[in-house]
Amino acid sequence: MPIDAWFPLAIYYEDLPDALLHREGLIKAVLALEEQGYAARNFPEMAWTGDLHGVEQIHADPRFAWVVEQVEIHTRCYLQELGLDLNQIELYIQRGWPVVSRHQQEVGDHCHNTANISAVYYVAVPASGTDEAGCLTFFDDARLNEVSPGLGSENTDIVSSWNYLNQDQALYLPTEGRLILFPAKQRHGVTINHTDELRISLSFDIVLTAAPGQAAGSYEFLTPPPSQWRRFKS
Ligand SMILES: [Fe+2]
């Protein structure tokens, strides 16, 4: 009784070979930025996320240049694997920010609605490769195999056997030195850090636009390049 599973969600990951060389410098830079934004802290039970505390431009900070370069290299690889013609698009890092998760802190589920691709790089992970420090969790909102909407809800026990055909979420174990890329619209979150140590990651939002001079058709489906925009005078 074969069953084919179609329409996979593509999550790209790469363990960066020079991770250890950059680890201490990145930790130092992140903690310095957190110190600056700490007073404006929003929710104590949530991890410190730079984007909510005025620290969202690490892509322009030379201390993060190595990671930015890796994000650019691997985003191109990812998009090529997805079958895109890179000659027809331009790529931009729209924003970048650190995330520091301490004991019992988490990141609630969300999407990055203003971007196309999201990247996460794990700088420091206690008990790396386990779920102790908090997993990146992807939620399946399409539920293609949920033959009656809500069937897998936590309020029923109608699904008696959980298997790869009826999962509504996928957990990624955080691994130090690993870069992960995924569609920015995919809802995701981070589970609780159960360790007493810091879990430090970097997030980047990437935008695709059409390359200048492409056939008009591409402008229907990709944002035209910012170089062709006109800003209102005031
Ligand atoms: Fe996120």
pLDDT of residue 152: 81
What's the rounded Cα separation, in Å, for the pair 6 and 39? 47
- d(CA 112, ligand 1 centre) in Å: 6
Cα of 233 to ligand 1 centre, how many Å? Answer: 34
The series of mean pLDDT values per 10 residues for the chain, 234 residues long, is 95 98 98 79 80 89 98 98 95 96 94 97 96 96 92 87 92 97 98 97 97 76 91 92
Question: Which pLDDT score, from 0 to 100, does residue 116 have?
Answer: 98
* pLDDT value at residue 218: 78
Kindly state which CATH superfamily the domain 12-228 is placed in.
q2cbj1_9rhob like domain (2.60.120.620)
What's the pLDDT score for residue 214?
A: 67
Distance 226 CA to ligand 1 centre (A): 24
**Nearest alpha-carbon partner for 58 in 24, 33, 22, 21:** 33
* Confidence at residue 213, expressed as pLDDT on a 0 to 100 scale: 80
d(CA 41, CA 207): 28
Query: pLDDT at position 230, please?
Result: 95
The CA distance from 203 to 64, in Å, is 11
Give the pLDDT confidence score for residue 150 in this predicted structure. Answer: 87
Q: What pTM did the predictor assign?
A: 0.93
What residues have CB less than 8 Å from 133, skipping those under 6 apart?
101, 125, 126, 127, 174, 193, 194, 195, 197, 199
pLDDT at 104: 94
Q: How far apart are CA 84 and CA 86, in angstroms?
A: 6
Look at residue 61 in the predicted model and tell me its pLDDT: 97
